[in-house]
Amino acid sequence: MSNTSSVTGQTTPWKQPLDLLLLFGLLLLGLITPFAATSFGAATISSSDVLQVFSHKFLGLGESMGVTERIIWELRLPRVILAFIAGAGLSVAGSVLQTVTRNPLADPYLFGISSGASFGAVVALTLFSQSLLWLSLPLGAFIGASLSVLMVLSLCGRNLATQVERMLLSGVAISFMFGAMASLLLYFSSPQAAASVLFWSLGSFAKASWSGLILPAIIVSLCTLIILLFKRQIVAMRAGDETAHTLGINVGRLRLSMLLLCSLITAILVANCGGIGFIGLMVPHTVRLLFPGRYPLLLTAAVGGLFMVWVDVLARTLLSYQELPVGIITSVMGSVFFLFILGGRSAKRI
């Protein structure tokens, strides 16, 4: 793709055979995933049972399947949808962060946003009553995430384009700081609260419900829509701040707005799912590797959502009669991926 199309945000049509094959494979996976992912779990349920429940609920065909239908409809399907929303939102946030900061290693987790949101959520969980958690939990997570962004920006100064490494180190330092503060709060809280917060902080979709899907779905969808409205300006920032300025873009305002939107996405997901790291790092890089020279944000969201659903399936089935926190699996995968990218950047410098 030419430099002109890179700056203006235009992309060439999807005409390459490999592109079409990958898109077809992704579409096929998207059609299979709801049926296959919903059938995995402690109780053995076949895909045909899932299909029968979906037919009964969506089309009014057949009869109710009793306990099996309750397991699929009330427990597993909301979990699959929440996992998809979380993966899509974190992938979009990671892609935007990497573009507006021109930092290929940027990620809500490494940038300190997830830790700030987790700290704010832990404050709400330990200091406020259970009756106010519906408001205090997402609000505390957003305040913590926004605070971490402001701290990173203040540590890096104005010229963010030339301070990629400093920005990443600032995010890691702030992440450790918020992690230590959250641990201190847990140390002085009750054992029951500490145990519940610890499992939640490692990331889990176990408490997914239909009512709990409303706020994450609305926030992630609205933030993604706003980001898409500024897609051309965001892509123009790839060419550098000076080039974006010549195109009439207020770089400082756009960068801060996108960072706050990413903070809001991360905050609402942390409040509902806990800390899930490295999705925003792995998925955007994978999509850019498969589709070089493009900025397919919706495709990134779809890949991230499907990836997160299958990671959750792995968390449910890897151990017999026990569920692993999702954050542990993503952290193991993400740390290896991070070292791979870091090694590639070092090799290019040599």
Q: Is 337 exposed, middle or buried (0-12, 13-18, 19+ CB in 10 A)?
A: middle
> What confidence score (pLDDT) does residue 1 get?
40
Mean pLDDT of 59-79: 88
* Alpha carbon distance 173, 214 (integer Å): 34
How much is the average pLDDT of 166-184? Answer: 86
Q: Which residue has the higher pLDDT, 227 or 9?
A: 227
Q: Which two tokens stand for residue 186?
A: 């847990």
In Å, how far are 19, 233, 261, 292, 294 from 289, measured between CA atoms?
A: 11, 22, 25, 6, 10
Tell me, yes or no, if the pTM score tops 0.75. yes
Q: Say if residues 117 and 141 touch (Cβ distance below 8 Å).
A: yes
* 58-84: average pLDDT: 89
Residues 6+ apart with CB under 8 A from 306: 26, 29, 30, 33, 84, 87
End-to-end CA distance of the chain: 27
Report the C-alpha gap between 312 and 276 in whole angstroms: 11
pLDDT higher than 80, residue 317? yes
Dist. CA 7–CA 327, nearest whole Å: 36
**What type of residue is 23?**
L
Identity at 298, one-letter amino acid code: L
Q: How confident is the model at residue 6 (pLDDT cuts 50, 70, 90)?
A: very low
Name the more confident of 219 and 156.
219
Residue 177 confidence (pLDDT) above 50: yes
Encode pLDDT of 101-148 as tens digits: 888 888 888 778 888 888 888 888 888 777 777 778 888 888 988 888
Other CB atoms within 10 A of residue 184 CB: 12
Separation between Cα atoms, residue 182 and residue 179, nearest integer Å: 5
pLDDT tens per residue, range 241-292: 788 888 888 888 898 889 889 989 998 998 888 889 899 999 999 998 888 7
Instruction: Please say if the pLDDT value at position 95 is more than 90.
Output: yes
Confidence of residue 162 (pLDDT cuts 50, 70, 90): low
Percent of the chain predicted with pLDDT > 90: 28
Contact predicate 324/318, CB 8 Å: yes
User: Which among 39, 40, 43 is positioned nearest to 53, based on CA atoms?
Assistant: 39
pLDDT at 7: 43
DSSP string, 246-259: HTT--HHHHHHHHH
Please say whether the beta carbons of 282 and 310 come within 8 A.
no
Residue 53 has pLDDT above 80, yes or no: yes
Cα 326 to Cα 16: distance, rounded to the nearest angstrom = 35
- Give the containing element (helix H, strand E) for 65: none
Q: Are 210 and 79 in contact (CB under 8 A)?
A: no
Contact assessment for residue 92 and residue 263, using Cβ atoms and an 8 Å cutoff: no
